[in-house]
């Protein structure tokens, strides 16, 4: 989901001390990120557009927390999302794949403003159709990436079990081995 990818543009040194690298502040990364999301061949954003990207990310970050905790969005949040979505135009298209009908939505003009609108749209869609209780923050305190827990009993704790999950297992093991000699004193 676009909104999750936007929030996870904050990279922390998850293997180390959690030092934050804000990828959204890197011009080259921003262009690659936009292309990865289907907004290829964009020009460098203007200063105002960069500022808006940060504003939308901070807004959605706060809204995701609120949604996870309270299950609802404030009137202010709704107004913000509507305002951001107004910058994008979407075109709907019905296609047939074998025997199934698929309704897709495409952004008409791909630019930085419509990308921001698409972030807001993806979050608004999640807020209406998704399950807020599935929003999780990685249990590795030096990672904190956002993910949706799709497991039945909502037991997923890490953004990636092979990476953060294994690392935390190793950390717990080391902490335990360090503690034990002291406990014998």
Q: Under the criterion CB under 5 A, does residue 146 sit at the interface with Zn ion?
A: no
Q: Under the criterion CB under 5 A, does residue 168 sit at the interface with Zn ion?
A: no
Q: Under the criterion CB under 5 A, does residue 159 sit at the interface with Zn ion?
A: yes
Torsion of the alpha carbons at 133, 65, 27 and 110, rounded to the nearest 10 = 60
User: Which of 76, 30, 77, 84 has the alpha carbon at shortest distance from 56?
Assistant: 84
Q: Under the criterion CB under 5 A, does residue 140 sit at the interface with Zn ion?
A: yes
With a CB cutoff of 8 Å and minimum separation 6, the contacts of 139 are 157, 158, 164, 168
Find out whether 132 and 67 touch, Cβ atoms under 8 Å. yes
**CA 184 to the chain's CA centroid:** 45
Residue (84 or 145) nearer to Zn ion, CB: 145
Ranges assigned E (strand) in the chain = 10-12, 20-22, 90-97, 100-107, 135-137, 146-148
Segment interacting with Zn ion, rule: CB under 5 A, options 41-49, 57-65, 117-125, 156-164: 156-164
Q: Closest separation between CB of residue 158 and Zn ion, Å?
A: 5
Residue (16 or 181) nearer to Zn ion, CB: 16
Residue (31 or 167) nearer to Zn ion, CB: 167
- Both tokens of 173, joined, read 């093991």
Q: Under the criterion CB under 5 A, does residue 143 sit at the interface with Zn ion?
A: yes
Q: Under the criterion CB under 5 A, does residue 4 sit at the interface with Zn ion?
A: no
Q: Under the criterion CB under 5 A, does residue 138 sit at the interface with Zn ion?
A: yes
Q: Which residues bind Zn ion (CB under 5 A)?
A: 138, 140, 143, 145, 159, 164
């Amino acid at each position: 989901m676009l909104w999750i990818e936007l929030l996870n543009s904050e990279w922390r040194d998850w293997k180390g001390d959690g030092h934050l690298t804000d990828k959204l502040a890197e011009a080259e990364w921003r262009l690659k990120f936009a292309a990865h999301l289907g907004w290829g061949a964009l020009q460098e954003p203007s200063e105002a557009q960069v500022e808006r990207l940060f504003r939308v990310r901070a807004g959605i970050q706060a809204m995701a927390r609120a949604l996870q905790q309270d299950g609802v969005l404030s009137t202010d949040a709704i107004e913000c999302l509507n305002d951001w979505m107004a910058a994008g135009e979407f075109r709907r298209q019905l296609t047939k794949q074998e025997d199934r009908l698929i309704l897709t939505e495409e952004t008409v003009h791909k630019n930085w403003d419509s990308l921001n609108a698409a972030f807001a749209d993806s979050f608004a869609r999640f807020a209406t159709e998704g399950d807020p209780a599935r929003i999780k923050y990685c249990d590795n305190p030096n990672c904190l990436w956002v993910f949706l827990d799709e497991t039945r009993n909502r037991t997923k704790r890490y953004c990636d079990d092979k990476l953060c999950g294994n690392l935390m297992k190793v950390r717990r093991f080391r902490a335990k081995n360090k503690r034990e000699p002291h406990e014998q004193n």
